[in-house]
Chains A and B, each alone.
Chain A
Amino acid sequence: MARINPEFTDELIKYGAFDPNACYNCGNCTAVCTLSDENNSFPRKMVRYSVLGLDDEIKASLDPWLCYYCGECSITCPREADPGELMMSLRRWLISKYDWTGLSGLLYKSLAASISAFVLLAAVVIWFGAYWHFNLETVMHYGHYFEIAAISLVFLAILLPNIIYMWWLTVYKPGIKAPISVYIKAIGELVVHLFTQKRTLSCDDNQLRWFEHFIMVLGYLGLLFTTVFLDWFSTQSMFIIVLGYVESAIIFIVTFDFIRRRIQKDKEISKHSQPSDWFFVIWLFMMGLTAFLVRLFMDVNILENNIWMYLVNLIILVQWALIIVPFGKWTHFLYRSFAMYFANLHRATLAK
């Protein structure tokens, strides 16, 4: 027995949902959705749960993560209830529910809070630079350490507990008892999804979007590896230097295209942009561009006199690592892949 909570839609609208109450249960969205089958009416079930405010059911569901937002449902909806954007909002809402710190929810719902956090971190970085008298070598040295520390901290203290909580909500609590062997077998799929997000190929009519996304992920993960472990900014290896250039160029070129689409709104997926969506693409773009410029300044030997360039890069990096990665849209990448993984556990258990 589930109790109806009509105030839930008001909450969801704060996460970007358009007008879920407009739904009159015609089922056109389900008819057009490639994810829908006899057992799962996709995305109607989630729309209905949202209208009724069945938040426990939504928390236990992996459905929002299986949707890659092709937007067909929103185009087909005769009531303009925008089910595609509703699924997107549910993902934002779920991120805030998985997050034990509660900061995700705050940042999603309040633009002022997000801006304050960005400004605060920028101030801290400038203060840090001033503390070391803007000495390039020292600042770069600690900057590099910061990257390693931030990655470990964010992963261990925030993302890992959140994923465990997500597992508890979606696998353990609904009573899915998969043997260890199934967990191990499905890991291969998890890695593939993390790197390729290949599921999107089955939804999207535009293969270019997947390809862009794919090389962007490779570029991003590559740049992360190149800067953190191959120490791109200090290396003398020609190969690594060129590799870094290529990776950072890929990031800002591809994200430039993403930003262009969000401005032009030519596809359903890029029609509705929440602040969190803008932060994500702009910061990714800036990250690629500033890293590229920092290395370029080094190679033409002007960074010594233009340390601000490095500081800008560091500010972007710090904001990215401490706001967008743990609490923002970046987590999509992680939760989505884990949702596929958990869905495999569901399937394996149900098959038995």
Chain B
Amino acid sequence: MKQKIGVYICHCGGNISDYVDVEKVRQSIEHDEGVSLAKTTMFACADSNQKEMVEDIENRKLDGVVVASCSPKLHLLTFRAVVERAGLNKYNYVHANIREQVSWAHSDNKEGATEKAIQIVKAAIAKVRYAEALEPIKVKSTKAVAVIGAGVAGMRAAIELAEAGSEVFLIEREFFVGGRVSQWDDLCITEETGKELITRLYDEVMKHKHVTLFTGAEVIENSGSVGNFNLKVQITPRHFKLHCNSGELQKAIDVCPVEVPDEFNFNITKRKAIFHNYPSEYPQLPAIDLKNCTRCGECEKVCSNIDFSQKTENLNIKVGSILLATGFDPYEPKKGEFAYGEIDNVVTFPQFKRIVHYCDDKLTYNGKEIKHIAYIYCVGSRQVDGENKYCSRYCCTANIHTAITVKKKYKNIHNYHFNRGIRTYGKAEIWYDESSRLGDIYLQSFEHDPPIIEKQGDRTIVKIKDVLTTDKELEVVADLVVLVTGMEPRKDNSISNLLKVPKGRDKFFNEIHMKLRPVETVIDGVTISGASQGPKNIMESMNSALAAATKSFELVDSGELELEPTVAKVNEKTCEWCGKCEEACPYSAFEKIEKDGKFMAKVNSAVCKGCGMCLPVCPVNALELIGLTDQEVESMIDALIPTI
């Protein structure tokens, strides 16, 4: 029990004292048990008052402090720092909010406001009486980071982490690195190809001996917590020996009789069961896709490097932090959405990019030459009825850039952009300008009046009520209709389920705070980057990858982490392990252990957030929250409602 409590009641200029009689508050608490000092102050947060507080604590040997002022969101940390400067443990400070909760809320009732303020301050005093000095929990941290996904974001983050001095495990599910960008070809603004970017990043990744790249690899198990994650990585073999003769490799691909739709080309072409996505791909070794391989043995006859004896391996790795760079899936239109899947010359934007890649001097699709191209924007983005309410950000720019590329690459191309407002934000505006000067036609409609695509004879017609032409009904005969599809969260949820990464309403990974903590998640130690977090272009993905690398590195760099001590505690005597706390915990902080011949719960204090969800469900009241003990809370309640 504290015997020398100091209480400061703030005027906040007039913000509080105009409605609350602060002097009356002071008088009504100054004789409370344990209170040795009660003052009012014009601005508690002012430097002069902070100095005075330090002097009071030192001179009068105060053992607990209460400041009744604004919201703790604004100044809790300020006053904790003040008491620390005076040599007191910061948990011996309690904050009372009498501005947002009292003076601003009850400006119409001064007497009532004063009464409420008195009770809130009394409650704070009651809590501080039982407050205990606490020290942060210290855990050891492994100086290694697992980066999940070797696309541009993952590779960029891996390079950054390795340069800073961390061990990096770069884990890629596919057999080849590069993710979506390797499928992209010509890129906007820098006029590089996706392959060039991937090559540069891959070369840098390979240069660092601290980066270990796993391809065909997936994280299948996770235990531990920030500083000490134990991951089990499953590695699927390529069934090829390392360092083999490239001539024989090509022969092996040629003789393979199995043909399956090539997902790398968004199913517009076919590939063999032995494959690489493009000739110079990294790692430069093909892989055998065992799901489709018939084991006919033809390849083994022509290529000595094939090794069907390779087995799936599991590897255990230990890391201090996990950086997610798992990317996005392109939106797949539903059958019949803008005639997709019904009219054969309706394709998606990613497919169109691949078509352009494969056509050299004449743009053809299904054997027909293409001259008039209609682009339908915002397919799968900004949906009125569908779930994807967000703007996918990259599509306007990427599509206009592609339209220009097409116009320059082939002769007599006419582009028609059926849009809902063009968003070529930032530096990409120049592409919009160039496209319109090249004679591209922009037609606009609102979400409730989308363009209609229909077949008339053997011609495909796109119709629109164009708001730019006073809602006049216009039509275009199109040789190809491109649905400019947006980004969607990955359909595969395995890694997010494993790590319990929270998702936003848009189903992308969610950060703690969009602006202030944009790459951290509520799961300590797990950071997010790139398009796994929401639609981003490459530049934005790089920014977030570098930010996430910094935050992950911060966690593993010193080898030790300090965590908040305000976590749940199990009373080993009364706990009988019923499992209710484990069910209630949103962070999986509980573990069942056996001690002295009985089962009981154990809290992983590195995982526990001190949210208190477990406390009310414990049938034997064996749980307590450090910093908010039953004693503290009960005494506060007593102080708040003394008349009952």
Instruction: Contacts A1-B463, A4-B416 given; indicate if A52 touches B439 (C-beta within 8 A).
Output: no
The reply on B59 being an interface residue by CB < 8 A is no
Query: Are B437 and A22 in contact, CB atoms less than 8 angstroms apart?
Result: yes
- Find out whether the CB atom of B473 lies under 8 angstroms from the CB atom of A1: yes
The reply to whether the CB of B133 lies closer than 8 angstroms to some CB of chain A is: no
Count of chain A residues with a beta carbon within 8 Å of a chain B beta carbon: 19
Interface residue B246 (Cβ < 8 Å from any Cβ of A): no
Q: B94-102, B345-353, B464-472, B541-549: which lies at the A interface?
A: B464-472
Contact B477 A3 (CB under 8 A): yes
**Closest-CB distance, B369 to chain A (whole angstroms):** 17
A25 touches B474 (CB 8 A): no
Closest to B464 in A: A4
Determine the distance from Cα of A318 to Cα of B439 in the docked complex, in whole angstroms.
Answer: 42
Q: Does A19 contact B (CB under 8 A)?
A: yes
Contacts known (A6-B441, A19-B437, A52-B441); A25 close to B468, Cβ less than 8 A: yes
Which residue of chain A is the closest to B473 with respect to CB atoms? A1
Residue of B nearest to A10 (CB): B439
Q: Is the Cβ of B474 less than 8 Å from the Cβ of A2?
A: yes
Verify A6–B475 contact, CB threshold 8 A: no
Chain B residues positioned under 8 Å from A51 (CB to CB): 441
Output the least CB separation between A106 and chain B (Å).
Answer: 25
Residues of B within 8 A of A24 (CB): 432-433, 436, 442
B468 x A48 contact (CB < 8 A): yes
How far does the Cβ of A89 sit from chain B's closest Cβ, in whole Å? 16
- Per-residue B-contact encoding for A17-36, CB less than 8 Å = 1, 0 else: 00101111100000000000
Q: A117 CA to B108 CA in the complex, in Å?
A: 93
In the complex where A1-B463, A6-B414 touch, is A21 in contact with B436 (Cβ < 8 A)?
yes
Q: Are A21 and B475 in contact (CB under 8 A)?
A: no
A30 to chain B, nearest CB (A): 11
Q: Smallest CB–CB gap between B459 and chain A, Å?
A: 11
Central interface residue in B438, B440, B442, B469, by most chain A CB within 10 Å: B469
Q: How far is the CA of A48 from the CA of B442 in the complex (A)?
A: 10
Q: Establish whether residues B463 and A22, one from each chain, have CB atoms under 8 Å apart when the complex forms.
A: no
- Does B359 make an interface contact (CB < 8 A)? no
Closest to A20 in B: B439
For A49, the closest partner residue in chain B by CB is B469
Contacts of B439 in A (CB 8 A): 6, 9, 21
Instruction: Contacts A25-B468, A41-B470, A45-B470 given; indicate if A3 touches B437 (C-beta within 8 A).
Output: no
**Cβ-closest chain B residue relative to A23:** B436
A108 → chain B closest CB, angstroms: 22
Residues from chain B with a CB closer than 8 A to the CB of A21 are 436-440
B217-237 interface bits toward A, Cβ cutoff 8 Å, 1 = contact, 0 = none: 000000000000000000000
CB proximity of B453 to chain A, nearest CB, Å: 14
* Residue B476 is within 8 A (CB to CB) of chain A in the complex: yes
- Give A2's nearest chain B residue, CB to CB: B474
Instruction: Give every chain B residue within 8 A of A1 (Cβ-Cβ).
Output: 463, 473-475
List 27 interface pairs A-B (beta carbons < 8 Å), by A numbering.
A1-B473, A2-B472, A2-B473, A3-B475, A4-B441, A4-B475, A4-B476, A6-B439, A6-B441, A19-B437, A21-B437, A21-B439, A21-B440, A22-B436, A22-B437, A23-B436, A24-B433, A25-B442, A25-B468, A41-B470, A45-B469, A45-B470, A48-B468, A48-B469, A49-B469, A52-B441, A52-B469
Q: List residues of A whose CB falls within 8 A of some B CB.
A: 1-4, 6, 9, 19, 21-25, 41, 45, 48-49, 51-52, 54
